[in-house]
Each structure stands twice: as structure tokens, then as C-alpha cells.
Structure 1
């Protein structure tokens, strides 16, 4: 079932903890967990104070949202997320990721710069690199760092030509450019003029559009239109589209890998995500089966119970197949054998309920016989014939209530035991 998430403002997805290490925000994960739609993920990276947040707010259709900050220091720490309905693709959710500015003068280490950059690349389906001025060699090296060898997974709004030659210097120059071309099969470049005068730049989000350069507004509109039209749903190898739950697993897997001191790898993250998704799929399928079976009013005929069981098992399998991910060897599908044990328990409960129901019915139907027995009616001459007639009537009434043959035999044994003193 499709879900619609209404976020009034962005939330931090990955932040810098008190110890300086990256940490995932559980609030953001909860939001993602409620999104079953495919995600189109657009992330933006670049140096601090280059207007990244303004562009992301424009993609969200808002003037305010992502913080623009008012000083030279980077105002957005870590990665901030804003999930909004996709304006061009119904049934899809647009996830906007705004990153802290690279090269923040307040930070003594650039380690987190690299990891925030890497996360933005790995998590996005479209990466926007925002640069003030030309895209120089430093920018090329920064862009190449996180993903040399990750495969063709994303669209990038950047471009740069390689240089000719075979020297070590030329090779070092060309390597990041080749990585970019391999990783970003589609690239696009936009050039923006300065929106307002330098002294008004800090007031950008509060100024009316009439105060902004018309050329800048037109460039921003074209940028948004291109991004909406060309950005594809986040898709993993094999054609698996990423929804909120799967995206949440990817974020956690990448951050855990970074904290362990290893380099995040797409394949390992997908494997971890598949395990989490498939275990949850089995749990959800079994839960669905048990919930439906618990609704039954026992006792019921075994044939009817069996039919309900097969229908619930088939639906549980559908639930599993809808949520399972890369279960290529049907390992998790085989775990649905747990349904058999659940069914055995239901059968046992049905039998127990049947016995209790029949006992209660027997007590009700034989009340008159017990009264006659206590009064000695059956001990008088001709009492046995009266007993047989009464017992047969109780049996007939018992049968009329749908009692099975086993319970009928039990009735005969019980009433015979009670009439031992009959002459």
C-alpha cells in the first residue's frame, strides 16, 4: 500500500555526534520506515556557503526549510533530509538530502567531509555538486574519492574533460575524471548568476522573488525542471527499487561500516539490507497468518478449518513475496515452514474447543436423565427400557447439533456408566 509522508520541515538524517563521530537520527529512520513508495533521492554536495540549501528548498517547492545560515561557517551539520511528494511522478516520494558544506573552517579535520560526501554519493540517485566558480582539480579529487569502482548507479549534474598523455601526472589528473564518467553516465551542468548583491546574500530566504535577479530565477526554474524530469527512482543492481524501509537499512549499514573503520561498499550494504528486509518479511508473513487464524471462532469442522488454513498460508506467502528482497535461493521462503507448527497448534486448540463444547452440550442434553437417575426412575421395573429410550433421544438430539461420531460414542459410554445400577 502506498504511503504519503507530509514533512513540514527537514530533519537530520546523519549528524555529527558529541564525540565527532557520525550518528543516524532515529526520528528520520522512523519517517523512512513509513514510506512504501519508490524513492527519488536527490543529494547536494559542495563547499560551504555556495547556496546549496536554496536550491534544495526550491526543489521542495519552498522558500524556507533547509537552513541557509548567516555566517561564513557551514550551518548545516551532517546530512539533512526532507521527504515530499514527487511533483512529477505520482506514487513516488522525492527525498532531498542537503549536506554540510565542505571545507568548514570550524572543523579541525576533513575526515567527516569525506564520509558525508561518500554517503551523499552512495545514497542518491541524482547527485548535485554545487561549486562557486570553476570545477577545479580539488573538486575532481573530492568527487573521485568516495566511489572509484562502485559502478554506474547515479546521475550527476557535473562535467569535465580528460587530458591527453600517459605520464604519472596526466594519469593522476585523468583518474578522477574517468571515475566520474564511469559512475555518472548522465551529466548536466548549470551556471547560475549571483541572485542578489553580496550584502543581501544572508537575507536570501526572506527576500521577495521580485528582489532576486530574474536570470537567477529562470536558471533555478530550469534546474528544478531538469531534476524532476531526469532523476530516476533509487534502484539497486538487479532492478530493485528502494522504498523508505530499504533506504533506512542502507543508511544504517553505510554508517555502521564507516564507524567500524572500513570503507562502505554497495554490495555489502545491499546484502545487509536484504537480510534485514527478508527477516522482517518472514516475521510479517507469519504474523499475518497467525492474526487471521486467531480470528476464527472455534470449534469448527476440520474440512472448513483446513480450507481457511490454505487460504491464510497463500496470503502469507504473498506478503512474503511482496516484501522479500533478493531471496534468490528461497532461503527465507523456506522459513515459512513455521506456519505448519502454527497450524498444528490451531488444530489442537480446535480439538480442545470441540471437546469442551461437546461436554457442555452433553451436560445440557442429559440433565433430565441425570435427574431421573438420581430419583431412581431407572431402578424401577421397566426402568431399563425407559433408560434406553431416553438415551437414544439424547443421542438423536446430540446428532442434531452436528456432533461427530467420536463424541457420540463418548456419550454412550458416559450415560452407560451413569446407569450402572439400572436393573
Structure 2
């Protein structure tokens, strides 16, 4: 019977060609992080020059089924990105802080334990902190820097660009990566080169963090905010010349790529140069009050403004972050340009398919096959199993668009087919059991009729017992019809008139 019941497992209208090309990286080769929280590598470049995801990070993220927001810190090497991340963690140490010329962070690293946060609008989410390799590390190429920078932007809900000093022409030069992003990312598969404003629809909140900031924020003899300072710095500069045009292109790209942007300034935390080299070991109460208040303002902004990253109706979770990252890395490794919409769609397809597969398994395991094969009983088993299956699907499936709707429809088709197949088989087996029971009844009744001491009362008593036994042990929609036919035939054959 179960072979027939399992026939409903695969939907006939999902062909192999229709399945997504994305497959989540296997986490079977590594266990999720246990023990104290620590930074773990998410993305790295292998010895063959290919981007890879670390299996430990994959296994850890696969466990985070709830919505996540990602805050990444990027900037030049050895300028305190890790220190800022540790302050967001509320720790003096965590992400490694460099005190030498060699950068500590290679690739992308994340904190192994998400921070449970609640946004101002009441949204509960897991905050993932991401540390990025310095964009000017001595052993990098220009393309690699752009790719790491682009990955951090694509994966983030909030992107903090960490920089020493004010926003000048040199600082703008360093952010020329922004203009290169449009060459390395596309919004959709067709339509040619993507513009910064198109990318801006998918960009995170951009925070330009200015460290060791010493300028007075004054314009036209009035105090201005750091945000005002940022907007003034991003205004196009009038004039001619190729260099000026290149700088203005960077300004235009930043404004278009990051429509939601903010600026924070932090004064130099200490004056002693030796103490600055071990800033992570200095307690906060020894730092300048202006630095601490600026750090508090930044932390408050990060925690209040970060939201779970979302594209359309699909909200990012740990497994989706794994899938999106894998899709982007596959494109980079194959010499292609990562495409935002198709990457998200492929992950949405794969996650919905995985939710569908899990839901069908749950339906089959939850279906109570011990109940008698009666319409009402089987319907109860079906409804209970269907409810558990749908709950599992809704907990795992992502999005609210046509992809999810497709798998919801496939799941409903599966329910109908699996139930009808099982019911048909169960009724056939029940019908056969009824026939066998009636044959046994006939033999016993004949034996009672031809017994040497046969009497009508004894025969009727035997018949009554046989009918009670049949009623208790036989099932199916043909149960009473078969019994009625049998009794009618015996009466017509004058079976009981044995005297």
C-alpha cells in the first residue's frame, strides 16, 4: 500500500529542467560553531584564486531561520574597522585588531553568534556583524578589492565605511570602487550595464564614519551636522578637466548608489600614540568623552536603523544569506557579473523547493495509517497531516510572489493526489478483506447448519456472532453492501431451510 501512497511524492508538473541551478553549499563537512562566540571566516580566496565559503560559517548560518540584518564595516586596512565591530558587540575584544602594518582580516568574516535585536517598529531580527578585508591591502588587485567591496554592499542592510580624517579628494579617490561596482554587478540579467541609481534600489544604508576627525563643522558661519558635511562633500564641483570630472563621477555614484546615507564623526580617542596602538586594551572610561559620546551615537543609530535585508517579499534569513552569497561567488568564479534579481530568484526557488520537499515528507510521516479505512477516519488523518505539512512549509518557504505561489499550488496538488492514491488502495484492500471475511462467515455458517445437533436457535446465535465479528473487523465503503448481497443470496438459496 505504501508504494502507492508514495506515488504522490513528485509533482508531475515540475520537470528537471524547471528546477533551479542554485544549490546551497553543503554544511555536512563542518559543524556549526560551539563554545564561546568568535569571528569565523565567511568568504575567502583559495589557492586557485576562486572565492569560497567556509563550511563552518555555512553550517552556522543555516541554523538562523529567523530574519537577519547584516551590518558590515569596510575601509582601508589597519584603520580600526575591527575595533568598531567590537564596540557594537559590547566587547573589548572579539574581531582581531591590528597593531602592525599587516592586515588581520582577509576576505569576509562574521561573528558566530547573531545579536538578538528589536527595531524601532517592533521588528525582531538577528543582527549579523561582518568584517571586511581592507580595500587597500598590499597583496590585493584592483578587481579583487572591488569584488570584496561589492560583496559587502550586496549582503548588507547597513554598510559602514570606516575612514581616518575628513572627506577630501584623496578620500573620494579611495571610494572610486563605487564607480567600479556598476561594472561588476547587474540588477537584472538583461538590459545592459546597470546604473548607480538602479543599484541604489537594492543598496544598504550607507554610513560614512570619519575617525580622528578634527575639523570644525562650520559652513557660512553656522554649525552644520556631519550629515550636512557629507552632502556638501558630495556636491559636484564646478570646473573642467579630466581629473575633476572623475571626482564628480565618484560623487554622483555615491549619491545614486546610496540614497539612504548618514555620516558620523569620531574625534581621536587618545593623544598618546603608544596607547592608540593598543586601543582595544584601554577601558572606555579612559577615552576622551567626545569620542565616547560619538561612539554611543553611532551604536544607537546602527541598532535603531538596521532592518532585515529584503528583496521584494523575500526577507533574508541565514539560509538565504548562504544561498545569495553562494550565487554571487559562483558568478564571480565563472567570470560572470553577479545579477541581483536572478540570484535572489534562484535562492527563492531553491528554498521554496526545499520547503516543498520537506512538507511532503512531513505529510507522509504524519498521516495516521492506523485508522480504519473509512472515509471519515481517513479524512481526519489527511487533514491533520496536511495541517502539519503546511505549517512546516510556511515556516521554511520564502517570498510571497509567483515562486512561492507555484510551490503552494504544487503542494495542494500533492495533498489531493497522495490522499486519493492512499484512499483508493486502502479501500481496495478493505474490500478484499470484506470478501475474505464473508467467505469465512459462509463456511462457519454452513458448518453450524450441518452440525448433528443443529437447531434454528443455535444457527441464529452463530449468525449473530459472525455478524458482530464482521462489523468490528471489516471496513470500507463496500462493507455493508457486500454483507447485504451475501445474506440475500443465502436466503434465496433456501440456505436456512435445512429441516
Establish whether residue 305 from structure 1 lines up as the match of residue 335 from structure 2: no
Establish whether residue 138 from structure 1 lines up as the match of residue 211 from structure 2: no
Residue 120 of structure 1: aligned partner:
152
Establish whether residue 151 from structure 1 lines up as the match of residue 226 from structure 2: no
Deviation digits for residues 287-321 of structure 1 (CA, Å, limit 9, x no counterpart): 3322321x342324212312442454365446545
Distance 1:414 1:316, change over 3 A: farther
Within the candidate set 157, 169, 187, 2:261 is matched to 187
Deviates more, 1:159-168 or 1:404-413: 404-413
Distance 1:393 1:235, change over 3 A: closer
Residue 278 of structure 2: aligned partner:
203
> Residues 240-259 of structure 1: matches in 2 within 5 Å?
240-259=314-333
For 1:174 and 1:409, the matched residues in 2 are separated by 94
Establish whether residue 43 from structure 1 lines up as the match of residue 43 from structure 2: no
Query: Taking structure 2 as the reference length, what is the TM-score of the superposition?
Result: 0.71
Equivalent pairs, count: 410
Residue 303 of structure 2: aligned partner:
228
Within the candidate set 393, 396, 408, 1:333 is matched to 408
Give 1:39 deviation, angstroms: 1.6
Establish whether residue 271 from structure 1 lines up as the match of residue 345 from structure 2: yes
Give 1:394 deviation, angstroms: 0.9
Residue 55 of structure 1: aligned partner:
84
Residue 46 of structure 2: aligned partner:
17
For 2:87 and 2:264, the matched residues in 1 are separated by 15
Q: Secondary structure at the match of 2:114?
A: strand
Taking CA–CA contacts closer than 8 Å with sequence separation of 6 or more, which of the two structures ends up with the larger relative contact order?
Answer: 2
Cα RMSD of the aligned pairs, angstroms, is: 3.7
Give 1:166 deviation, angstroms: 6.7
For 1:396 and 1:186, the matched residues in 2 are separated by 78
For 2:124 and 2:42, the matched residues in 1 are separated by 23
Give 1:377 deviation, angstroms: 7.6
Within the candidate set 119, 133, 153, 1:100 is matched to 133
Deviates more, 1:266-275 or 1:27-36: 27-36
Deviates more, 1:340-349 or 1:244-253: 340-349
For 1:15 and 1:165, the matched residues in 2 are separated by 42
Residue 85 of structure 1: aligned partner:
115
Distance 1:287 1:6, change over 3 A: farther
Deviation digits for residues 94-146 of structure 1 (CA, Å, limit 9, x no counterpart): 111101112222x1534322211110010111111111223423223023322
Deviates more, 1:117-126 or 1:195-204: 195-204
Deviates more, 1:221-230 or 1:84-93: 84-93
For 1:394 and 1:414, the matched residues in 2 are separated by 17
For 1:286 and 1:34, the matched residues in 2 are separated by 21
Deviates more, 1:116-125 or 1:316-325: 316-325
Deviation digits for residues 39-67 of structure 1 (CA, Å, limit 9, x no counterpart): 22111111100000010111112111111
Contact 2:313/2:400 (<8 A) preserved = no
Deviation digits for residues 21-47 of structure 1 (CA, Å, limit 9, x no counterpart): 221112222222222322221111111
Q: Secondary structure at the match of 2:359?
A: helix
For 2:105 and 2:321, the matched residues in 1 are separated by 21
Contact 1:289/1:313 (<8 A) preserved = yes
Deviation digits for residues 305-358 of structure 1 (CA, Å, limit 9, x no counterpart): 124424543654465455242542632233222223321343255336746876
Give 1:72 deviation, angstroms: 1.0
Contact 2:86/2:95 (<8 A) preserved = yes
Structure 2, unpaired ranges of 5+: 1-33, 183-195, 209-229
For 1:414 and 1:250, the matched residues in 2 are separated by 71
Query: Taking structure 1 as the reference length, what is the TM-score of the superposition?
Result: 0.83
For 1:214 and 1:118, the matched residues in 2 are separated by 35
For 2:126 and 2:36, the matched residues in 1 are separated by 11
Q: Secondary structure at the match of 1:157?
A: strand
For 2:325 and 2:438, the matched residues in 1 are separated by 63
Contact 1:50/1:132 (<8 A) preserved = yes
Q: Secondary structure at the match of 1:92?
A: strand
For 1:48 and 1:254, the matched residues in 2 are separated by 24
Contact 1:140/1:177 (<8 A) preserved = no
Contact 2:352/2:407 (<8 A) preserved = yes
